[in-house]
Structure 1
């Protein structure tokens, strides 16, 4: 029978390595469970072996070939878990991450953040100055148009 029927959930979580809240738990316990289940299925469903001096009868009550389906299922599960393990290994950092390295990296990021904030403040200031110039120019244009319109209206009205 598959191992999951024999091992309680508390035993599985107790034996499973916990990394931390940020990183997922590695699939090594899954791989171990899958290997154990595959062996259990082989033991349960495998045909009896014949020895040279002993004659045994094959149990006729067993299905024709359930082990082939189990073999394909467990082979696929094991291959997928192995790929997951490879992905996790490839995603590990190439150098050791110590508290000092993390602090230095954080300090560098904070410096870059302050530089970007200063640059942003400068851009906002220049934008405000340009906005004031544009508003002033628009006000001058509006005044000129009003003067021009009032001048043309007074000229077009005949004196009686």
Structure 2
């Protein structure tokens, strides 16, 4: 957009991604907004410069003005966003990641999955065996308690 026709309060704030999958697009959009805003600020606040006398327009002894503050702000924002984009680029799969390597990786993961499934089946089987033993022992205990109780009731009480 044209930054010269709108006030500084109308600058786009940096956008936040709604989801992780939108991170790359959001960062690129943020960088585009920052460039657009920086150009708009330069158009709105930048002092006119004569190309024939460019050296006197760039005077380091000039007092700090809003344009310099904006330049520093946008330089920092653009540098930070560019660094974020570099990190994203570095996290992308490399060109060496061919279909064959991906297939080998998937095959290895599938083998690990089958091994884990076999171990899980063994653990479940042993758990079932232990559960049967525990249930059998509980049934024996219950049967013993019933016999003990019924035997105590059938015995005659001693005379006192």
Q: TM-score, normalised by structure 2?
A: 0.63
In the alignment, the residues of structure 2 paired with residue 106 and residue 51 of structure 1 have an alpha-carbon distance, to the nearest angstrom, of 62
In the alignment, the residues of structure 2 paired with residue 140 and residue 132 of structure 1 have an alpha-carbon distance, to the nearest angstrom, of 12
From the superposition, tell whether residues 95 and 147 of structure 1 become closer, same or farther in structure 2 (CA, over 3 Å). Answer: farther
Gaps in structure 2 of 5+ consecutive residues = 6-20, 54-64
From the superposition, tell whether residues 111 and 120 of structure 1 become closer, same or farther in structure 2 (CA, over 3 Å). Answer: same
1:47 equivalent in structure 2: 47
Question: Cα RMSD (Å) of the superposition?
Answer: 3.6
1:103 equivalent in structure 2: 103
Contact 1:26 1:85 in 2 (8 A): no
- Cα shift at 1:113: 0.5
Alignment length, in residue pairs?
134
In the alignment, the residues of structure 1 paired with residue 154 and residue 95 of structure 2 have an alpha-carbon distance, to the nearest angstrom, of 84
> If each structure's helix is expressed as a fraction of its own residues, which one has the higher value?
2
- Cα shift at 1:153: 1.7
Gaps in structure 1 of 5+ consecutive residues = 6-20, 54-64
2:80 equivalent in structure 1: 80
In the alignment, the residues of structure 2 paired with residue 104 and residue 29 of structure 1 have an alpha-carbon distance, to the nearest angstrom, of 36
Q: TM-score, normalised by structure 1?
A: 0.63
Deviations 1:58-77 (A, max 9, x none): xxxxxxx5524533542343
Q: Is 1:117 equivalent to 2:117 in the alignment?
A: yes
- Cα shift at 1:139: 0.4
In the alignment, the residues of structure 2 paired with residue 51 and residue 106 of structure 1 have an alpha-carbon distance, to the nearest angstrom, of 62
